[in-house]
Chain A
Amino acid sequence: MEFFVQQLVNGVTLGSVYALIALGYSMVYGILKLLNFAHGEVYMMGAFIGYFVLVGLGGAASPILPVALVIILMFLAGMLGAGILGIAIERFAYRPLRNAPRIAPLISAIGVSFFLQASALLLFTAQFRTYNTPELIPFSVGIEVGPLRISLVRILVITSAIALMIALWLLVNRTRLGKAMRATSYDREAAAMMGIDVDRVIVATFFIGSVLAGAAGVMVGLVFGRVFHFMGFIAGLKGFTAAVIGGIGNIPGAMLGGLLIGLAEAFSAAYISSTFQNLIVFGILITVMLVRPSGLLGSPVLKKV
């Protein structure tokens, strides 16, 4: 039984990270119908920013501020830095392509992705960086659930992911900006005619999506410890997968998609085989897609005839 709960925790931790990345993809897609392939690199930069803040504050072994404060600062810096990067990418690589065929910004995104990866290599070198979390928060700190111990870091990650998702939900459904975002994603031209500043809404969307990705980056650094220039590519693919599985453009769907992938990975590795883990996960996802062709929570695309 503990084994099952253990995998549940593993899966939820992983899934929360994927969900945060998927949210960025879904939000941007909802508004611009654009798949932002550079999103993974934003996540990577968030992780690096968090790393440098940690090192600047004395490193994991001897921080000059209390640990809680250090972690909060890392999050804030990573999120803010990622947000600014996201805005810059939008302005430079996507805005000129606002009215281009849907597939053109894809290549621009790919170009940005190459550029950012190479920049990370140039600026930070290819060395793996680690947050060295066990020094910051020892393993022994955690919650005991029977014979199982869930470490504080994982709890932190899961709760902050949930907090962010709730905050996002509130933003989208309860604020004026959220209303504007929903309107713009429904029909951009009509929204503009209703007096919504579409450009500002788009910038805000990119900012929020990138902030979430930056938070995911810092979380991954905390829980899984490895920060390197290529991490964005892999995570970006998974986040993109999660967003589409859940129904692209659909925010709760992105969260669900991320969780599904995280759980699938954890359970298939633990119960079946680690060697074929990826194959099993792909198999599960293909089945999901064939059973629900518009994604888990996506609505079927209605065509106006």
Chain B
Amino acid sequence: MKRTRWLILLTLVVALASIASGCGGDDGDDEAADTAPVGDTGAEAVECSGTVGIMGPFTGDAASIGQEQLNWAKFAVDTFNEENATDFVLEEGDTQLDPAQASTVAPQFVSNSDIFGIVGPAGSQEIEAVGEIFGREGIAFVSPSATATDLTERFETFFRVVPTDADQGPTDATYMAEELSAQKVLIIDDQTSYSTGLADSTSDALEEAGVTVERESVSQDQTDFSALVSGVAGDTDVVFLPWQIAANAQLFGNQMAEQGKEAVIFGSDGLFSPDDFSIEGSYVSSFAPDITGLDDPAVQELATAFEQEYGDFGTFGPPTFAATTVVIDAAYRACQDGEEPSREVVLENVETTDFSESILGQPIAFDENGDIQDATFFIFQIAADGSYELVQ
């Protein structure tokens, strides 16, 4: 009995001694990784810190979209911090695209006084749920992916770096009607708010151009599209897929080829993902040129650095990088002016954002509603080797 006690005592003493010595701590130095400059940020580096909140579907069935957005946001924060010796932090709020969860996360961010601005939420329906909350508090929130047209009018503190359905629909429709001389187009939406909004907008534009339009709709969870594909009429010229998940479109395209359907696939910007969607001869539209195909070496370095750390990416990532940079830059400008990056100041600065260049290959500035100005759409065609070639 006594021996056990001594044994225990000895162990405790050894443990305490280790703690005491270990607490001296060894410091390793963080190796600063080499990354490209993100763009001009101003004359001198100024101390600045604060938290950016990000809301999106980081788990659940839309996690492929949310995780890509999250990784690019983290990348944006890290890159900016290294560039400008600042101390910004990212805080996550998982919403699983559910407006109920979004409206629970929103007050959490609001009560966190460190948060001066928000990136996201990702889905238009979430913005309906949180728009009032953020508007009341005067917090800027910049979405990288919500395209429902009227959102910027209804919510004052809402901004977005992507153009709306009202921009993309007519562009795609015009291309299909004129360049592709389509007589009959089948539009299949995937029952999400992004998809139905864009499908409606494109369908209206096509009908105005005198093209016959057929509508179908399919769930994102669908395992197999063969039955749907076999229902594609033989005289259909173009199948328009305003889908969010590129892998679904790849399967659809494979099954079209399997069944010998000749219609060409035209995808919206949700399908812009060279790794996931590479059906030869298909068209994809995007509001920004493929950043890996851009001439700008700075953007190329960013893309490469991102791929090294996080892996492949598709279409939702770079806009999130842009959105995060907009918010952080707004705070940084406040610091440069000698002010605290409070929510009002950040909101004002976001409104006056004026990047001459960005990762999206175009300048970023907002109009009075909060939409991005001068958004152009680019159309790509997929070549035999899977690469995307700009055709318009």
Contact = CB atoms under 8 A, between A and B. Distances in A.
A–B contact at 8 Å CB threshold (below): yes
A64 interface: no
A268 B227 CA distance: 8
Interface in B234-266: 245-248, 250-251, 254, 257-260
Interface string B47-79: 000000000000111011011100000000000
A139 B258 contact: yes
B59 A121 contact: yes
Interface string B278-320: 0000000000000000000000000000000001100000000
Nearest to B247: A128
A10 interface: yes
Contacts of B216: 273-275
A10 B217 contact: no
Interface residues of A, number: 44
Interface string A1-41: 00100110011011001000000000000000000000000
Contacts of B221: 234
A126 B64 contact: yes
B262 to A, nearest CB: 14
A269 B228 contact: yes
A126 B226 CA distance: 25
Contacts of A11: 227
B223 interface: yes
B25 interface: no
A128 B250 CA distance: 11
A224 B63 CA distance: 20
A207 interface: no
A275 B61 contact: no
A99 interface: no
A266 interface: yes
Contacts of A265: 224, 227
Contacts of B59: 117-118, 121
B27 to A, nearest CB: 29
A127 B251 contact: no
A130 interface: yes
A269 B67 contact: no
Contacts of B260: 149
Nearest to A273: B216
A117 B61 CA distance: 10
Contacts of B64: 126-128, 228
Given A125-B311, A130-B276, A270-B227, A226 B248 contact: yes
Contacts of B246: 128
A220 to B, nearest CB: 7
A110 B276 CA distance: 31
B257 A226 contact: no
A127 to B, nearest CB: 6
A228 B251 CA distance: 14
A233 interface: yes
Contacts of B245: 128
Nearest to B310: A125
Contacts of B60: 230
A278 interface: yes
A274 B219 CA distance: 9
B7 interface: no
Contacts of A235: 223
B61 A233 contact: yes
24 contacts: A7-B230, A11-B227, A13-B224, A126-B67, A127-B68, A128-B276, A130-B247, A133-B254, A139-B254, A139-B257, A139-B258, A224-B224, A225-B247, A225-B254, A228-B64, A228-B247, A229-B63, A233-B61, A234-B221, A238-B223, A267-B227, A268-B227, A274-B188, A277-B227
Given A223-B224, A265-B224, A270-B230, 10 more contacts: A6-B259, A11-B227, A118-B59, A130-B247, A139-B258, A151-B258, A224-B224, A230-B60, A230-B63, A267-B227
Interface of B: 59-61, 63-64, 66-68, 188, 216-219, 221, 223-224, 226-228, 230-231, 245-248, 250-251, 254, 257-260, 276, 311-312
**Nearest 10 A-B pairs (CB), nearest first?**
A269-B227, A126-B67, A128-B247, A126-B63, A275-B217, A10-B226, A270-B227, A230-B61, A126-B64, A266-B227
